[in-house]
Amino acid sequence: MDRFFSLQLSEKQKAKRKKQKAKRKVGESYGYASSFVGRFSSKLPWKETLSFRRLYQEYCEARNKVSQEIMGLLGISLGLDQAYFKDFFEQNDSILRLNHYPPCQKPELTLGTGPHTDPTSLTILHQDQVGGLQVFADEKWHSVAHIPGAFVVNIGDTFMALTNGIYKSCLHRAVVNTETVRKSLAFFLCPKLERPVTPAAGLVTAENPRKYPDFTWAALLKFTQNHYRADMKTLVAFSKWVQEQESNNKLIP
Ligand code: OGA
Ligand code: NI
């Protein structure tokens, strides 16, 4: 990470979306992105990121293994078979992202990463000792302390849909400071891009009726890149959009 982010900007930009020339284009999730300008309107983000799929192959695979184990436990906690989510995520289009937050002269005017819920399924974050990650709960922001040797794990919107809203994604953000560079490594477990995301049958009941329509991770990823929301309503807005698309399609003979 240190070597990459200390390169000249023009060098870093060479890592931008290269892969997509050959492959189908899915927004801008891969490659280098400096978000010193970007989609956050109120406070501009103060960070650079590098996301890629299979570059740090072994590291990705180790994280993948951890996330599969967690998926087994989450399945059990819902009364499903241990293999249920493991099977669902056995093949996946997960993303590894390096977040690099340089020190900022005016940290109160910015945020490293603005408030958001992760659109992905499960996030396993390794943050360094600097601190800056915050989670919104009980109407206020709480700092998530760095614990040596520990990952921060959170649920994303796609897993919320897979569990029909039983597990909830959480609103979080990252603040920056005047003195120290902060780094974090995020592994985002994601389904295969085109695999339908539909809740487990046992989780849709009379008391907990179906909350979200079927969708693909590819569609949600694209939606979140076009419509950033600094609140917890992404999945609701996206669901509405999917339903509108479906009824539009029905109107066209
Ligand atoms: C993210 C994120 C927080 C952090 O990359 O989605 O929330 O602490 N990062 O870097
Ligand atoms: Ni996040």
Mutate to test the pocket of ligand 1, among 133, 147, 229 (most ligand atoms within 8 A of CB): 133
The reported pLDDT for the residue numbered 167 is 97
Q: Which residue has the higher pLDDT, 36 or 168?
A: 168
Does residue 133 carry a pLDDT above 90? yes
Atom nearest to 123 CA in ligand 1: 6
Domains of the chain: 27-251 (2.60.120.330)
Quick one: pLDDT band at residue 253, thresholds 50, 70, 90? low
Give mean pLDDT, residues 166-172: 96
Annotated catalytic residue 39? no
Q: Name every residue whose Cβ is closer than 8 Å to that of residue 39 and which is 6 or more positions away in sequence.
A: 225, 228
Does residue 82 carry a pLDDT above 50? yes
The reported pLDDT for the residue numbered 158 is 98
The reported pLDDT for the residue numbered 24 is 41
Which protein residues are within 6 Å of ligand 1, measured from CB? 97, 99, 113, 118, 125, 127, 133, 172, 174, 184, 186
Quick one: pLDDT band at residue 15, thresholds 50, 70, 90? confident
User: CA neighbours within 13 Å on the CB side: how many for 10?
Assistant: 0
Atom nearest to 188 CA in ligand 1: 6
pLDDT, tens digit, for every residue of 203-233?
Answer: 999 999 999 999 999 999 999 988 888 888 9
Give mean pLDDT, residues 136-140: 95
CA of 57 to the centre of ligand 1 (A): 21
The reported pLDDT for the residue numbered 232 is 86
Q: Which residues pair with 185 in a beta bridge?
A: 98, 126
pLDDT, tens digit, for every residue of 30-57?
Answer: 778 876 544 445 566 777 877 775 567 7
The reported pLDDT for the residue numbered 54 is 56
- Mean pLDDT of the residues in the chain: 87
Tell me the pTM: 0.87
CA of 158 to the centre of ligand 2 (A): 13
Q: How far is CA 3 from CA 11, 161, 198, in A?
A: 11, 38, 41
The percent of residues in the chain predicted with pLDDT above 90, rounded, is 62
Which residue has tokens 């659109």?
A: 119
